[in-house]
Amino acid sequence: MLDESLSVRTTRRRMLYALAAAGGLTTCRGPAARAAVPQPARAPRPPAATPATHRPDPAKAREIRTEFVHAWEGYKRFAWGHDEVLPVSGGHGEFFARGHPVGLSIVEALDTHYVMELDDEVELCTGWITERLDFDIDADFQVFETTIRLVGGLLAGYLATGRTRLLNRCTDLADRLLPAFTKSPTGMPYRYVNLRTGRVSGTTLPVAEIGTHMLEFGLLSELTGDRRYGRAAKRAVRAVVQRRSSLDLLATTLDVESGQWTDRQGSAVDPPVDSFYEYLWGAWVMFGDEECRDWFRMFDAALRRHQAERIGDLLWFKHVDFRTGALLNRRQSSLAVAILPVGGDNALAADYYRSWTAVLDKYAVIPEAIDYARLTVLDARNQLRPEYANCAFQLYWQTGDPYYRTTAWRYFENLRKHHRVPGGYTVVTDVTRRPMPRGDHCPAYVFAENFKWLYLTFADTPRFDYAHGYLSTEGKVLRGLRPPPA
């Protein structure tokens, strides 16, 4: 059974600042990477400004790619076909269900290999997926993680390669997830579903797990012409919106059968709510969903009004009682760094990025959680988080300001210094100690995110459309993959 902390840890990931509203990166309506991939019909999109001109830095891009390959070779050597590698001991583990590997790192890495032009690895991963991956599994899989990691990864792999078997695997998996939505009396999904039997379980879910399905399911509906996926995801989101407080704030956790809140904490950009806001904006830019756009703007205004505050010259978002707005705490998660709901407000996004840069400057590796009033550590671990690199990429390609590349490179150098081991990359257990003690775990999302965000920041790869590309909350390229030159 999946550890609940793993769910919270990956709930997050990136609002993309809704930078699409101001131009630059737009979201993932999924044009084909190759001519063989069907072109989904275009929905209306907000106008985009011409992005700034950027010069690639191929030397730094090569260093980043070299480190990605180092991490990947450790996975291939110790854990091929399993979900995650233990790079220090040379072991492996499964993410979703013990004894039931689904090659999670392989699926997560596929489109990263593609944008880095590692074509032999693309073929290796595609071959494993088409020949070995089978979702007829008598085990409970967490719906949220399965959507953003496996459904999203297979969609990105399909867009990269044009292999219809990848889309077929994706459709089969989504069909197995749908009972979590259709069996719920509120439309909000159960937390787990047995992939073989369709049995559902888990009635208490964080908001992000309820509402972070629209991009993957919506794109799958466009590619297949089957509207069930997008409809199920939208119904779940609407059910959450209807339960907002009179302040237009959300708490963190709902009972999906009774529809009642189980807590009162409004955590703003922090998990376990974060990516709910991201996907509201994404649905507008992806599909022209005006209702989601309006919901986003409503929540955005409420978060600014009731939760944004400055300590000194640094911007943060306090946790409050979602019914009254009363202060509960000043805890902030490192996952929040990429989830600023600004709807195109680059000035506010830049302010929040600088807040987390202050944390990076103080600790070299960003801890899992801080008390932002004093920049003190509440959770000293670092689970190889990609959010800071994600922020740097978005803001650099939106603004052209070299500050974001400078800080991204500092993040990379610290990543290499403190997380690298002979068998790949591993987590740090205490960022406050020197040398930083290391654990023995490389999360599969490392292959989807950290190195990809950094590589895209410096490489200017011809395989990605920087003006119109979009990466999901799990770093999957769902729009903007370009075919190799003929």
- Please give the pLDDT value at position 319: 98
Per-residue buried b or exposed e for 218-243, using 16+ beta carbons within 10 Å of the residue's own CB: bbbbbbbeeebbbebbbbbbbbbbeb
Instruction: Look at residue 10 and tell me whether its pLDDT is greater than 80.
Output: no
Comparing CA positions, the residue from 35, 16, 172 lying closest to residue 481 is 35
Task: Compare 339 and 80 and report the one with higher pLDDT.
Answer: 80
Comparing CA positions, the residue from 123, 84, 126, 88 lying closest to residue 103 is 84
Strands across the sheet with 376-379, in order? 331-333, 369-371, 376-379
Instruction: Look at residue 377 and tell me whether its pLDDT is greater than 90.
Output: yes
What mean pLDDT is predicted for residues 455-459? 97
CA separation for the pair 145, 193 (Å, rounded): 12
**Residue bearing tokens 């205490």:** 430
Q: What is the pLDDT of residues 281-301, one digit of tens each?
A: 889 888 899 999 999 999 999
What mean pLDDT is predicted for residues 2-19? 36
3-state secondary structure 79-100: HCCCCEEECCCCEEECCCCCCC
* Contacts of 38 by beta carbon, 8 Å cutoff, 6+ apart: 32, 223
Q: Which domains does the chain have, with CATH numbers?
A: 4-476 (1.50.10.10)
Is residue 184 within 8 Å of residue 240, measured between CB atoms?
A: no
- Please give the pLDDT value at position 339: 63
Q: Would you state the structure tokens that stand for residue 54, as one six-digit string?
A: 């950027």
